Amino acid sequence: MDAVVFQTTIVKPVLVAMGNWTEASEMLLMGTAAQESQLIYTHQIGGPALGYFQMEPATHDDCWTNYLNFRASLRAKVLAIRTASGPPQATDMETDPKYAAAMARVRYMRVPASIPTSPRDIAAYWKLYYNTPLGAGTVSGFIASWNKLLTPHPYAPIS
């Protein structure tokens, strides 16, 4: 998907609907999607992760069980973003990019540290809290994906 289209039709509207838009949170989700899926893949090759943000089903389910189900207002907003009916399923993230974006934002909401504002620090934030120190991703990989897919629009390159 084109980065500007992804920004303007998926990420920003979802963050606004969640009452949670900031430039930093938008850049965080855009960078996460660029790195995790190259804005192409919605099913991990050789792994369980789903959607543009490549969230694993266990993480999706944990967000519901241990976070969203204790936050009625946020829960309602996420359910309103989701297009499918019935109990939320991890597989919804594969076919519903707005729901996938909402769940990615929820995952970051569980991080106590605030989102940094510089793109380079956002790359480190993704590595620490989304990919995690155990994950195979690297900060330099995030920056490479950012520079390849998110520049010159909607963002400037990370030097």
Partner 1 sequence: MRAGPILAVVLFVSQGLTAPGAFAQSKSDPTRTTLDVPRQAVVMGDDIARTDWSTRLAHPSNEGQFEVLVRKSATQIQAPDCKSDYLLIRMPASVSIGSDPATQAAVARKRQYFDQLLAAYDKGESLHAEVFAGPYGKRGPGGALLLTQCNLFFVEPASPH
- Residues in contact with partner 1 by CB under 8 A are 59, 62, 107, 110-113, 116, 121, 124-125, 127-130, 132-136, 138-141
**Dist CA 88 CA 2 (whole Å):** 27
For the chain, give percent helix, strand, coil, nearest 5. 60, 0, 40
Q: Which of 1, 43 has the CB closer to partner 1?
A: 43
Q: Which of 83, 138 has the CB closer to partner 1?
A: 138
Q: How far is the CB of 2 from partner 1 (least distance, A)?
A: 26
Q: How far is the CB of 7 from partner 1 (least distance, A)?
A: 23
Q: Which of 12, 100 has the CB closer to partner 1?
A: 100
Query: Are residues 142 and 35 in contact, defined by beta-carbon separation less than 8 angstroms?
Result: yes
HSE of 35 in the Cβ direction (CA atoms, 13 Å)? 26
Nearest partner of 148 among 139, 138, 158, judged by Cα: 158
Q: How far is the CB of 130 from partner 1 (least distance, A)?
A: 8
Q: Which of 48, 157 has the CB closer to partner 1?
A: 48
